[in-house]
Amino acid sequence: MIDLPDRDLILRARRGETEAFGELVRQTQAAVFNVCYRMLGERREAEDLTQETYLRAYQRLYTFDLERPFLPWVRRVAANLCLNHISASARDIPVLDDELDETDSTSYPPQIVEQRQQSENIRFAMQGLPIRYRIIIELRHFQDLSYEEIAQTINRPLSDVKSDLFRARKLLGEMLKNSRQ
């Protein structure tokens, strides 16, 4: 159930109070940034797309159902925007910030380093997926949408969503297995 403050903020934003929308951004920007980062794999690009997501969301506030929570809606906007961005730039090649290189791994306990390496492997494997698989993994696993909701969000038949999801999981499993060897 939606929090009343969210509803109030959205109504105020619809009346043109940009500060109210700014508060919604503050509350949800980390989650939206993570959607973009998982989809794009590059921090700077993810930051740009996060901002674009909110500008797009603001222009489409009239379509938002006040009876539903704001965060899932704006995360879906972000996923779609990233999908369009990758398709438009014709980039389907993995691009990933090598965050482990930016830090001195010797200063962390081995367990932490191992965990971070594991996370990077998963991110790298996700970036290696074709874009149509990546969006489905994002919507199903990270945004917890049903098959029907995914089909509606990306405007594709349910049968395609199911087959792509199953193939994406299979491919991801193989890539993760290879990265561990």
Partner 1 sequence: MTHLSYETLNEYLDHRLTADVYNQARSHLEACPNCAASLNELCAILADLDSLPEVTMDVDFSLAIVARLEQTPYLPRPIQWLTVAQAVAASLAIILASQQGLGMIWPLVEKWIQPLNLPSLSENITSLTTFMFKVTADLRLSTSNFELPTSGINLTFTTLTIVIISASLLWLTANILLLNPHSRRTL
Residues lying near partner 1 in the complex (CB under 8 A) are found at 13-14, 16, 18-19, 21-23, 25-26, 29-31, 33-34, 37-38, 43, 47, 50-51, 54-55, 58-59, 61-62, 118-119, 122-123, 137, 141-142, 147, 162, 165-166, 169-170, 172-173, 176
Nearest approach, Cβ of residue 90 and partner 1 (Å):
22
Q: What count of other Cβ atoms lies within 10 Å of the Cβ of residue 173?
A: 11
What are the C-alpha distances in Å from 173 to residues 124, 145, 147?
12, 21, 20
Nearest approach, Cβ of residue 127 and partner 1 (Å):
12
Taking the least distance from each CB to partner 1, the nearer of 18 and 105 is 18
Gap between the Cα atoms of 33 and 2, Å rounded: 21
List alpha helices for 42-127, DSSP H. 43-59, 70-88, 99-102, 110-127
Q: Is 99 helix (H, G, I), strand (E, B) or coil?
A: helix
- Closest by CA to 81, choosing from 36, 136, 139, is 36
Nearest approach, Cβ of residue 4 and partner 1 (Å):
21
Nearest approach, Cβ of residue 110 and partner 1 (Å):
17
Taking the least distance from each CB to partner 1, the nearer of 14 and 91 is 14
Taking the least distance from each CB to partner 1, the nearer of 21 and 70 is 21
